[in-house]
Structure 1
Amino acid sequence: MNIEEWEEYRYVESGISAFINQMEESSLKKMVEHVCNTGGKRIRPIILLLSCEICSGTYYQSLNAALAVEMMHSASLIHDDLLDQGIIRRNLPTAPEKFGPSKALLCGDYLIAKSIELISPYGKKVIRDFGRAGMNMAEGEVLDLRLDEDDFGESSYFECIYKKTASLFAISASIGAYTGGADEALAGRFNFFGNSLGMAYQIVDDILEFMEVVEGKKSKFTSQTLPHVYTMNMSKEEAIQKSIDAVKMHVNAAKDTLMTFRACSARDKLFQITDYITLDMLENI
């Protein structure tokens, strides 16, 4: 699947380029350009645009919300690299490594402020959910810092990855639905889809990290993974299989929810994304 050929991807890329181009020349602009143009697939904003389309909206209605999600995500990557002392991300130096931790922190702050500006016209429900996702992400990172504690088990792990990863997937889908005209009940179903997909995505990432097959990323410190949690009580092979089973459970929940939405090309693309960032990643392990 070549997501770079999708029109939704091009909309997001054009929006990011326009945002960077309007910035005055400065070291901040160079940092923002480095962080925002390092080869990401733009999965979260694309989910938002597609969710809007399923609800009969257009990208004109939802693009700024999609850009807000991408800015929030980019800021979270900077903060993650600061916490983990990340050196390489997507085969390039991280912002803290390239520009120093102080400047990188300020770049993250700037991107969060920009995301608030972009999301602000969309109304109370959207702004509330966006703000809560940001708080969840921070709480998830705090939980992640406690992963070496003896009482950190399966339930703590799932709470951690919901907050730090799945919550942004969830609001990407539900905010997209809201911008397309969905009511609260329908937006809630989109939220459940995004949450299920985000959980599966993070567990896959954990499995790949546990098996040391992650490419293009290097940090001095790494998070505890689900297979690590399971190896406390079972063999390595059993831990990997149980983790894969958890991925499949969340993927099935995401797909079952997608089936309840209007049949259209946008829904087909969400099915493709669901496999692309989860099961397809596990094929070669």
Structure 2
Amino acid sequence: MPVQVNGVILMNIEEWEEYRYVEFGINTFIAQMEESSLKKMVEHVCNTGGKRIRPIILLLSSEVCSGSYHHSLDAALAIEMMHSASLIHDDLLDQGLVRRNLPSAPEKFGPSRALLCGDYLIAKSIEFISPYGENVVGDLGNAGMDMAEGEVLDLSFNKNNLGESNYFECIYKKTASLFAISASIGAHTGGADETLAGCFNFFGKSLGTAYQIVDDLLEFLEVVEGKESKFTSETLPHVYMKNMSKQEAIQKSIDAVKLHVNAAKETLLTFKACPARDKLFQITDYITVNMLENV
């Protein structure tokens, strides 16, 4: 059960069976790699304290649709490999020095080796996803392209040319798109039809959008822990501060988070009531509004 410390809810995700399934899959994959410098890099990137939120969303979405982790696990691992590769690329772009309180892959192994590690993880994600059929494979490919396009957009923005619509397009592509397919691929592997999978996709998109606004807001407020980069992106408060005070911009950003969280929760309410859906509700709060308790 979640506990509260200073008013903030702390979830023991590591105790969830879905988390253990993902950890087992990652550790099995790494153990099967030949001993090499590449294996050391993969171990460093994949085992640095992440909460496995995206693959857990996939497994839970599958469970809501009466699927099993046995059938969905490789799809969840594909999502995690794609996400891990994106973190490497993000650190390369931002010259990230520290991630999750450890040296970033580029900092520890050098930019060239880190880039190749990211390429390897993307290839591994394709291998993991390949048994699931054309539609699911296409969804992962489209999300990968969206993520790259989002990063290119991010690089093109500065305080003078970034507007609200640009910001939301950027964060959908670079972040929310992977949340969206985590949920919809999970639904597909659980046996959902296209209509229901589309609802899961909307849930993931709404959650991922809220999550990225929170992440940016915490960075804007300089309260991010365990991460250090030479360069940072423009944030939603920066956009709003063009027309209002700093405090008003912060509040409007928080309101945007709540809007997207509410959309995610309203969608969840349309799904079958079950323990997996309850966990999706918990994750939704955990990575969004609960992170803003002390803001």
TM-score for the superposition, normalised by structure 2: 0.96
Identity, % of aligned positions: 82
Instruction: For 1:78-117, list aligned pairs within 5 A.
Output: 78-117=88-127
2:171 to 134, 141, 161: 161
2:279 pairs with 1:276: no
Alignment match of 2:153 (pick from 108, 132, 143): 143
Structure 2 counterpart of 1:72, from 50, 75, 82: 82
Listed one character per residue, the Cα deviations across residues 53-105 of structure 1 (whole Å, up to 9, x for unaligned) are 00000000100000000000000000000000000000000000000000000
Matched, 1:179 2:172: no
Among candidates 261, 272, 279, match of residue 251 of structure 1? 261
| Aligned match for 1:198, one of 204, 208, 223 | 208
Please name the residue that 2:16 is paired with: 6
Residue 46 of structure 2 is aligned to residue 36 of structure 1: yes
CA offsets 1:153-191 (integer angstroms, 9 cap, x no match):
000000000000000000000000000000000000000
1:149–1:206 CA distance, 2 compared to 1 (3 A): closer
CA contact (8 A) 2:78 2:125 kept: yes
- 1:45 aligned residue: 55
Query: How many Å separate the matches in 2 of 1:251 and 1:129?
Result: 23
In 2, Cα distance between equivalents of 1:51 and 1:81? 30
Write the distance in 2 (CA, Å) between the matches of 1:50 and 1:179.
11
Cα distance in 2 for residues equivalent to 1:28 and 1:270: 34
Alignment correspondent of 1:15: 25
Q: Secondary structure at the match of 2:156?
A: coil
Aligned partners of 2:159 and 2:234 also within 8 Å: no
- CA distance in 2 between counterparts of 1:217 and 1:156 reads 25
1:191-230 mapped onto 2 (5 Å cutoff) = 191-230=201-240
Bigger drift between 218-227 and 150-159 goes to 150-159
In 2, the alpha carbon distance for the partners of 1:151 and 1:70 equals 33
Amino acid at match of 1:25: E
TM-score, length basis structure 1: 0.99
Report the AA paired with residue 75 of structure 2: A
Structure 2: distance between partners of 1:277 and 1:151: 29
CA distance in 1, matches of 2:159, 2:265: 35
Tell me, in whole angstroms, the C-alpha distance in 2 between the residues paired with 1:125 and 1:229. 37
CA–CA distance in structure 2, aligned partners of residues 210 and 53 of structure 1: 36
Q: Is the 8 A contact 2:72 2:189 kept in 1?
A: yes
Could you say which residue in structure 1 is the equivalent of 2:3?
Answer: none
Q: Which residue in the other structure is 1:267 paired with?
A: 277
1: CA distance between counterparts of 2:160 and 2:255?
25
- Post-superposition shift, 1:151? 2.7
Give the alignment of 1:225-236 within 5 angstroms: 225-236=235-246
Give the number of equivalent residue pairs: 285
Task: Determine the C-alpha separation between the residues in 1 that align with 2:105 and 2:161.
Answer: 33
Output the amino acid matched with 1:252.
N
Cα distance, 1:148 vs. partner?
Answer: 1.1
| Contact kept? 2:159, 2:238, Cα under 8 Å | no
> Please, which runs of 5 or more residues in structure 1 have no aligned partner?
none
Per the TM alignment, residue 146 of structure 1 is displaced from its structure 2 partner at its CA by: 1.1
- The alpha-carbon deviation at position 150 of structure 1 amounts to 2.8
RMSD: 0.6
Contact 2:58 2:184 survives alignment (8 Å): yes
Distance 1:182 1:123 in 2: 14
- Matched residue type, 1:216: G
SS at match of 1:145: helix
The runs of at least 4 aligned residues of structure 1 exceeding 6 Å deviation read none
Q: Note the C-alpha offset of 1:233.
A: 1.1
Distance 2:49 2:240 in 1: 32
SS in 1 for 2:270: coil
Once the two structures are overlaid, the 10-residue window that deviates more, 171-180 or 225-234, is 225-234
Structure 1 counterpart of 2:99, which letter?
R
Letter in 2 for 1:103: R
Q: 1:231 and 1:93 mapped to 2: Cα distance? A: 33
